[in-house]
A and B are shown apart, each in its own frame.
Chain A
Amino acid sequence: MLTVKTWIVQVLFLLLTSESIGELVNPCGYITPESPVVQLGSNFTAVCVLKEKCMKSYHVNASYIFWKTNHVTVPSEQYTVINSTASSVTFTNISLSNTQLTCNIRTFGQIDQNVYGIRIVSGLPPEKPKNLSCIVNEGEKMRCQWDPGRETFLDTNFTLKSEWATEKFDDCKTKRGTPTTCTLSYFPVYFVYLEVWVEAENALGNVTSDHINFDPVDKVKPNPPQNLSVSNSEELSTILKLTWLNSNILDFLILKYSIEYRTKDASAWSQIPPEDTASTRSSFTVQDLKPYTEYVFRIRCMKADGKGFWSDWSEEASGVTYEARPSKAPSFWYKIDKSHSHGTRSVQLIWKALPLAEANGRILDYEVTLTRWKSRLQNYTVNDTKLKVNLTSDRYIASLTARNTVGRSDTSVLTIPAYDFQATHPVTDLKAFPKDNVLWVEWTAPGKPVIKYIVEWCVLSDRAPCIPDWQQEDGAVRSTYLKGDLEESKCYLLTVTPVYADGPGSPASVKAYLKQAPPSRGPTVRTKKVGKNEAVLEWDQLPVDVQNGFIRNYTIFYRTIIGNETAVNVDSSHTEYTLSSLTSDTLYMVRMAAFTDEGGKDGPEFTFTTPKFAQGEIEAIVVPVCLAFLLITLLGVLFCFNKRDLIKKHIWPNVPDPSKSHIAQWSPHTPPRHNFNPKEQMYPDGNFTDVSVVEIEPNDKKPFPEDLKSLDLFKKEKISTEGHSSGIGGSSCMSSSRPSISSSDENESAQNTASTVQYSTVVHSGYRHQVPSVQVFSRSESTQPLLDSEERPEDLQLVDNVDGSDSVLPRQQYFKQNCNQLETSPDMSQFERSKQVSSVSEEDFVRLQQQQISDPIPQSCGSGQMKMFPEVSSADAFTGPVTEGQVENFEAVGIEAMVDEGMPKSYLPQTVRRGGYIPQ
């Protein structure tokens, strides 16, 4: 029961599926042609035919058809509705493409439905095959090939057909990969004409090539001859015999041959004349070969009538010709050792090994014979190519032959002249030049008949000696090239020696390069002399090893750092050059290039600086200037000397004697003493550097002699009473060399110009409630050391000893006190202070000293002392007539003090301007 059910279900399923598949597979219409192949460029028309059933179900007819190519709708202009069921589309000028063409209908509701589709394949019909040709490799089947013509873009079959008049042979179908060649399936029958042609066929048509009719034997390519062998002949050294095996084709064919040969080292083949090998053979003798030379041979063959093809070349075979006697005499030359002792000469005979082409075999040895005049022969057998013999001073004849297994060469004869022989007749116009990568040498023959020439050459170098190579040339030769391994850019020294019957002639030499090159390095330039506007450059000639050619010229490049480079060409013979028009005091960079014919090379750069002045220019300026200065100085000294009195008067004026003045006479305390120390005594201890000048007005001359007198007197008195004043020289407080003023003791200070001199006494009327006192105005330039006394007690002691009194100490104390005063009452007005100082009488002063003698000495005296100067000077300025010297001294001090205190002083211009006494 179950199985029956299953069976029914299966049948139903099959029915249903087959029904539905039938519906699906059954198209609504079709296109003709079904699978078109269209020729490129032609027109193509396709027709779509709708089925009645479909038309009914979709309610469409042929006018509903539209076409698509590769999913693109074709314009409706190309459609043609043939009838209610069929519509066609036409394409013109089909191009190369694989086109999918579909027929569609547009049903109700704008639904597009595909009806049918085809694929259009386009291409070209085959072209007529051309150039059909066949070849029969011996023992193989015939192969033909042809030119298929243009590309068809379609599958094209080529068939090679062949037939006799009586029989057709099997066709030869090309393989897919090789459509232009085909090998027939049967062995060709020679001597029977065969007709062959090619048929090409594709979907668009077929075409047949021209028929060719030939005898296959005329297309034969024979196998190359086998087992080629070469044998020589002892009888003839110039022949070699070739033998080989021909192929079997020889049984019914006549062959011809082509034989080629070359020497082992050569690359180019020579051919034996074809007419000598135009018939079937299996051996051949090659003639006119060089003795003792290895030759290589090869051979090929083809049909004698020239129809067919040459075989491949046979394998190469080589053979050596037999030896022959040397064909030429060796080149022969000699060298004489210059030293000549004990009547013998050492002569080295040298010769060249024969080249293989001339040796014609292996040279066994050389035979040398030396003949002296009227003497027997000396024979030597040498394996080498040189022989050293000791000869007397006489003339010798040397002869040389080379020997191989077959025989001996001709004899080379050389005359070795006597010791005193003078060589003459050199060759002339000797020239050497490179051509075709060899070095040629040519010369003009001397007037005498020459047997041969010897050409020698060697490399000129500083590093190695000249080791000559040589070659021999025939007497008729006028030019030759050097047959040696010459190197480029080396300097060769070539020597040509003619050899005459009686001995060698004079050699002639020339230098040459096979190929020049730029020098390896440039010349090193340096300065020989550098002037202000010129520099002499010098350099060394380049060594021959770096020249690499003939130095034709030098070029000097020079420039400043910023300037353009200037080039100067210098002839190669120079080693020095003067650069002119240089700028002075400028850095120049100079380098030099040497040029051969092939180019130049720069040397290192050299830097030099031109001097600011030319040589001697400084001297020319300095010497006259110095001389002039000297002269002026001399004149000045002379002038000073002549006018010394005047100068003296100017510098050390006579101080007017106050005692002679009327005022001096009024003062009973001050005796009219005056002392004027000469200059020598002014600086007894040398510490006094400032000079106090008392200028005396020229019109005040009257008291002058008296002054002097009184001064002398005064001096004497002072010396007798007090000795030297300690107020002069030494260092003041703080070791200052400034003059200090002490108005304390006029007696002491009268020792020098700077000593305190009382020159006026001013009597004031009383100021306010004070009793007017007589003020004694004195000046002092004492620079009495004050603080030094603490530091240097010995000085103090000395002074004490000299003075014999204690006046120094109190003076110091006074100053100390003064210092203290200044410090304790800094706000005291200047006027008051000056008054205070000035109002101190001599007695008061002493009193003060006594009062304060026990007071401690303040340590900060320095500043006080410094401050004191303006006070004193200002007091002087305000109060009394001041000598010129004092004023000047004070002026200097005053300026300093003024700067210190920043206070303007009115006295200074006053005194300076006046330049004389201020009248009281």
Chain B
Amino acid sequence: MDLRAGDSWGMLTCLCAVLWHLPAVPALNRTGDLGPGPSIQKTYDLTRYLEHQLRSLAGTYLNYLGPPFNEPDFNPPRLGAETLPRATVDLDVWRSLDDRLRLAQNYEAYSHLLCYVRGLDRQAATAELRRGLGHFCTSLQGLLGSIAGVMAALGYPLPQPLPGTEPTWAPGPAHSDFLQKMDDFWLLKELQTWLWRSAKDFNRLKKKMQPSAAAITLRLKAPGF
């Protein structure tokens, strides 16, 4: 239990550190004068890449957790993982989001998720799993930087961590091993959902950016006529 409490505190510090560092970064994917387009594409590809990574990582990790978590039709109710940022959202709400909010939600979600994954990293037993989790963490970190870069390119400020709304991975006093595994299970599941959602978000953003880029090109060419 102490370990759990320690983990939670660790996550908190981790999140703080991430949020402290990232605002200083203008953009991870340096795209020069080409605008945000290429970095949005890169971020989109990165979500796909993370999906790919998570697919193999989740399989390994669920096997590590053991039955029933590694069973294909295991679909437990969401219990005890309330602090995890929820990717699922009402479609109308999602449509009503603007780019800045959309990017900010992504950013905030991955900031939290990264800290939780780092918690997994420390628990993982096998070296191969640790290596996979480590790489995934790095990649998630890259995604965070990438999102920050896109936001910077689009001129949006990074969301500031509010003391009141900071993620509270409240270590329940009666967290059993099973429930802990359930948390891990839901973490992986939520990660996957978020990656799907992000892919969607960035694809939408990508499509939205392309015409404007085309318009700029046209505008630039017009004086030539």
User: Any chain A CB within 8 A of the CB of B106?
Assistant: no
B22 lies within 8 A of A166 (CB): yes
A167 lies within 8 A of B141 (CB): yes
A164 lies within 8 A of B139 (CB): no
Tell me, in angstroms, the Cα distance from A167 to B26 when the chains sit together: 13
B145 lies within 8 A of A192 (CB): yes
User: Quick check: which of A183-191, A534-542, A781-789, A823-831 contacts chain B, the rest being far away?
Assistant: A183-191
Interface residue from B25, B49, B138 paired with A191 (Cβ < 8 Å): B49
A251 lies within 8 A of B142 (CB): no
Return the chain A residue nearest B43 by Cβ: A191
- In chain A, positions 182-208 with a C-beta closer than 8 Å to chain B are 186-187, 189-193
User: Any chain B CB within 8 A of the CB of A213?
Assistant: yes
Interface string of B42-56 (1 = CB under 8 A from A): 110110110110011
Chain B residues lying within 8 Å of A190, measured Cβ to Cβ, are 45-46, 49
Tell me, in angstroms, the Cα distance from A478 to B200 when the chains sit together: 72
User: Any chain A CB within 8 A of the CB of B130?
Assistant: no
Chain A residues lying within 8 Å of B45, measured Cβ to Cβ, are 190-191, 217, 252
Tell me, in angstroms, the Cα distance from A213 to B21 when the chains sit together: 21
Return the chain B residue nearest A186 by Cβ: B138
Tell me, in angstroms, the Cα distance from A251 to B28 when the chains sit together: 23
B142 lies within 8 A of A189 (CB): yes
Tell me, in angstroms, the Cα distance from A251 to B56 when the chains sit together: 12
Tell me, in angstroms, the Cα distance from A166 to B52 when the chains sit together: 23
CB distance from A171 to the nearest CB of B (A): 16
Chain A residues lying within 8 Å of B52, measured Cβ to Cβ, are 248, 251-252
User: Any chain A CB within 8 A of the CB of B135?
Assistant: yes
User: Any chain B CB within 8 A of the CB of A268?
Assistant: no
B49 lies within 8 A of A166 (CB): no
B30 lies within 8 A of A192 (CB): no
Q: A187-B135, A248-B52, A251-B51 are in contact. Are A192 and B25 (CB under 8 A)?
A: no
Tell me, in angstroms, the Cα distance from A192 to B25 when the chains sit together: 14
CB distance from B214 to the nearest CB of A (A): 20
Return the chain A residue nearest B26 by Cβ: A165
A192 lies within 8 A of B42 (CB): yes
B145 lies within 8 A of A164 (CB): yes
User: Is chain A's interface secondary structure helix, strand, loop, or mixed overall?
Assistant: loop
Interface residue from A186, A189, A192, A251 paired with B48 (Cβ < 8 Å): A251
CB distance from A169 to the nearest CB of B (A): 9
User: Any chain A CB within 8 A of the CB of B27?
Assistant: yes
Chain A residues lying within 8 Å of B27, measured Cβ to Cβ, are 165
User: Any chain A CB within 8 A of the CB of B146?
Assistant: yes
Tell me, in angstroms, the Cα distance from A167 to B134 when the chains sit together: 14
By CB atoms of chain B within 10 A, which of A186, A191, A215, A252 has the most? Answer: A191
Interface residue from A164, A166, A186, A215 paired with B135 (Cβ < 8 Å): A186
B49 lies within 8 A of A165 (CB): no
A193 lies within 8 A of B28 (CB): yes
- In chain A, positions 157-185 with a C-beta closer than 8 Å to chain B are 164-167
Interface residue from A166, A215, A248, A252 paired with B25 (Cβ < 8 Å): A166
Tell me, in angstroms, the Cα distance from A164 to B22 when the chains sit together: 12
Tell me, in angstroms, the Cα distance from A738 to B78 when the chains sit together: 176
By CB atoms of chain B within 10 A, which of A164, A165, A252 has the most? Answer: A165
Tell me, in angstroms, the Cα distance from A191 to B42 when the chains sit together: 5
Chain A residues lying within 8 Å of B111, measured Cβ to Cβ, are none
Interface string of B5-39 (1 = CB under 8 A from A): 00000000000000001100111111000000000
CB distance from B89 to the nearest CB of A (A): 25
Chain B residues lying within 8 Å of A186, measured Cβ to Cβ, are 134-135, 138
Chain B residues lying within 8 Å of A191, measured Cβ to Cβ, are 29, 42-43, 45-46, 49, 142, 146
Q: A165-B27, A166-B22, A193-B30 are in contact. Are A252 and B48 (CB under 8 A)?
A: yes
Chain A residues lying within 8 Å of B141, measured Cβ to Cβ, are 166-167
Tell me, in angstroms, the Cα distance from A40 to B27 when the chains sit together: 45
Tell me, in angstroms, the Cα distance from A193 to B56 when the chains sit together: 23
Chain A residues lying within 8 Å of B42, measured Cβ to Cβ, are 191-193, 215
Interface string of B127-145 (1 = CB under 8 A from A): 0000100110011011111
Return the chain B residue nearest A249 by Cβ: B52
CB distance from B193 to the nearest CB of A (A): 18
Tell me, in angstroms, the Cα distance from A215 to B31 when the chains sit together: 11
Interface string of B184-215 (1 = CB under 8 A from A): 00000000000000000000000000000000
Tell me, in angstroms, the Cα distance from A191 to B48 when the chains sit together: 10
Return the chain A residue nearest B132 by Cβ: A187
Chain A residues lying within 8 Å of B138, measured Cβ to Cβ, are 186-187, 189
Interface string of A223-260 (1 = CB under 8 A from B): 00000000000000000000000001001100000000
Interface residue from A164, A187, A192, A213 paired with B46 (Cβ < 8 Å): A192
Tell me, in angstroms, the Cα distance from A167 to B30 when the chains sit together: 14
Interface residue from A164, A187, A217, A252 paired with B28 (Cβ < 8 Å): A164
Q: A189-B139, A251-B51, A252-B45 are in contact. Are A166 and B30 (CB under 8 A)?
A: no
By CB atoms of chain B within 10 A, which of A166, A190, A217, A252 has the most? Answer: A166
Tell me, in angstroms, the Cα distance from A190 to B142 when the chains sit together: 9
Chain B residues lying within 8 Å of A252, measured Cβ to Cβ, are 45, 48-49, 51-52
Interface string of A865-883 (1 = CB under 8 A from B): 0000000000000000000
Tell me, in angstroms, the Cα distance from A305 to B176 when the chains sit together: 50
Tell me, in angstroms, the Cα distance from A192 to B146 when the chains sit together: 7
Chain B residues lying within 8 Å of A215, measured Cβ to Cβ, are 29, 42
Chain A residues lying within 8 Å of B131, measured Cβ to Cβ, are 187
A166 lies within 8 A of B145 (CB): yes
- In chain B, positions 142-184 with a C-beta closer than 8 Å to chain A are 142-146, 148-149
Tell me, in angstroms, the Cα distance from A165 to B21 when the chains sit together: 10
Chain A residues lying within 8 Å of B139, measured Cβ to Cβ, are 189, 192
Chain B residues lying within 8 Å of A217, measured Cβ to Cβ, are 45, 49
Chain A residues lying within 8 Å of B142, measured Cβ to Cβ, are 164, 189, 191-192
Interface residue from A165, A213, A248, A251 paired with B145 (Cβ < 8 Å): A165
Chain A residues lying within 8 Å of B144, measured Cβ to Cβ, are 166
CB distance from A185 to the nearest CB of B (A): 11
Chain A residues lying within 8 Å of B21, measured Cβ to Cβ, are 166
Tell me, in angstroms, the Cα distance from A164 to B134 when the chains sit together: 16
Return the chain B residue nearest A195 by Cβ: B30
Tell me, in angstroms, the Cα distance from A187 to B29 when the chains sit together: 18
Q: A186-B135, A189-B138, A189-B139 are in contact. Are A166 and B28 (CB under 8 A)?
A: yes
Tell me, in angstroms, the Cα distance from A473 to B111 when the chains sit together: 82
Chain A residues lying within 8 Å of B22, measured Cβ to Cβ, are 166
Chain B residues lying within 8 Å of A164, measured Cβ to Cβ, are 28, 142, 145
By CB atoms of chain A within 10 A, which of B26, B28, B148 has the most? Answer: B28
CB distance from B161 to the nearest CB of A (A): 16
By CB atoms of chain B within 10 A, which of A192, A215, A217 has the most? Answer: A192
CB distance from B46 to the nearest CB of A (A): 4
Tell me, in angstroms, the Cα distance from A529 to B27 when the chains sit together: 113
Tell me, in angstroms, the Cα distance from A191 to B56 when the chains sit together: 18
Tell me, in angstroms, the Cα distance from A215 to B29 when the chains sit together: 9
Tell me, in angstroms, the Cα distance from A165 to B149 when the chains sit together: 10
CB distance from B150 to the nearest CB of A (A): 12
Return the chain B residue nearest A169 by Cβ: B138
Tell me, in angstroms, the Cα distance from A868 to B224 when the chains sit together: 168
Q: A186-B138, A192-B145, A215-B42 are in contact. Are A165 and B28 (CB under 8 A)?
A: yes
Return the chain A residue nearest B149 by Cβ: A165
CB distance from B152 to the nearest CB of A (A): 10
15 pairs of residues in contact across A and B, judged by CB atoms under 8 Å: A165-B145, A166-B141, A166-B148, A167-B145, A186-B138, A191-B45, A191-B49, A192-B46, A217-B49, A248-B56, A251-B49, A251-B55, A252-B45, A252-B49, A252-B52
The 7 closest A-B pairs by CB, nearest first: A192-B142, A191-B46, A251-B52, A252-B49, A252-B48, A191-B45, A189-B142
Q: Which residues of B contact A (CB under 8 A)?
A: 21-22, 25-30, 42-43, 45-46, 48-49, 51-52, 55-56, 131, 134-135, 138-139, 141-146, 148-149
Q: A186-B138, A187-B135, A192-B145 are in contact. List 14 more A-B contacts (CB 8 A).
A: A164-B142, A166-B141, A189-B135, A191-B29, A191-B42, A191-B46, A192-B29, A192-B139, A192-B146, A193-B30, A248-B56, A251-B49, A252-B45, A252-B51
